Structures are given as C-alpha cells and as structure tokens.
C-alpha cells in the first residue's frame, strides 16, 4: 500500500541542467498534481492532470513541463534549471477533484531540489 511515491528524495542541479522528478500512485486516482513548497509561501500548484493524456497549468507553471501517459505516473520536467526553482516539490493525487469535501489530497514525501 505505497500511496504516492516520489523519486528522488534529494537532488542538486547546476544552473541550466535538466531533470525529471518522478511520481507514481497506486490508488487508481484520476487526479494528480504537482506543488512546490517554499518557506513562508505555502503550497503553490504547478501543474495538474484530470486523467491520462490531460494536463493543465496551475498557478506557477513557468519553467516546468508535465506529461500523463498513464493513470499511475505524472512526471515533472525541469528543462533549464534556475536558482528560483530551488524548492521542495510534492506530488499529490485525489480520487475526485481536490476541492471536494470527500476527496482529500494524498501527498508523496517530496523531492528537495537545490539549483546552484
């Protein structure tokens, strides 16, 4: 019963490098999300997906890309890493839309990314 699994846990990137943050869930949830968490800023939505093949931008999508080829996987791609992307990234999933009363977000344990 793994829930939402994120890899890697930690990563250091140099400016301009690229990487993919992996996220997989085993709860057969249609809805998946990527958030970034910065100190004192709460959680900001980067991208979300309502099902395989469907993705859309959240509040802070610039510098990121996503894909959703399967129900289980929702990778986040950073193409040209910048220091402003230093953050903790959380993947989440939900059975229904996240704002519904009986549809809590299930979060992974995060990826701490440092760009230097």
**Interface positions with another protein (CB under 8 A):** 4, 40-45, 48, 50, 56, 58, 90, 92, 97-101, 104-110
CB of 37 to another protein, least distance (A): 8
Whether the link from the prior residue into 8 is cis, omega within 30° of 0, is yes
Question: Do 107 and 6 meet the contact criterion of CB atoms below 8 Å apart?
Answer: no
CB of 63 to another protein, least distance (A): 20
Answer left, alpha or beta for residue 27, where phi above 0 means left and psi between -120 and 50 means alpha: alpha
Taking the least distance from each CB to another protein, the nearer of 74 and 90 is: 90
Find all residues with CB under 8 Å of 22, minimum gap 6, and list them: 6, 7, 8, 73, 75
Taking the least distance from each CB to another protein, the nearer of 27 and 107 is: 107
CB of 45 to another protein, least distance (A): 6
């Amino acid at each position: 019963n793994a829930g939402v699994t994120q890899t890697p846990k930690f990563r250091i990137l140099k400016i301009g490098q690229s990487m993919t943050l992996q996220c997989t869930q085993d709860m057969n949830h249609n809805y998946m999300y990527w958030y970034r968490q910065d100190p004192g800023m709460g959680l900001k939505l980067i991208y979300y997906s309502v099902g395989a093949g469907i993705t859309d931008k959240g509040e802070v999508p610039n510098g990121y890309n996503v894909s959703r080829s399967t129900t289980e996987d929702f990778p986040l791609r950073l193409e040209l890493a910048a220091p402003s992307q230093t953050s903790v990234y959380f993947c989440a999933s939900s059975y229904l839309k996240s704002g519904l009363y009986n549809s809590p977000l299930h979060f992974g344990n995060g990826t701490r990314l440092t760009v230097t």
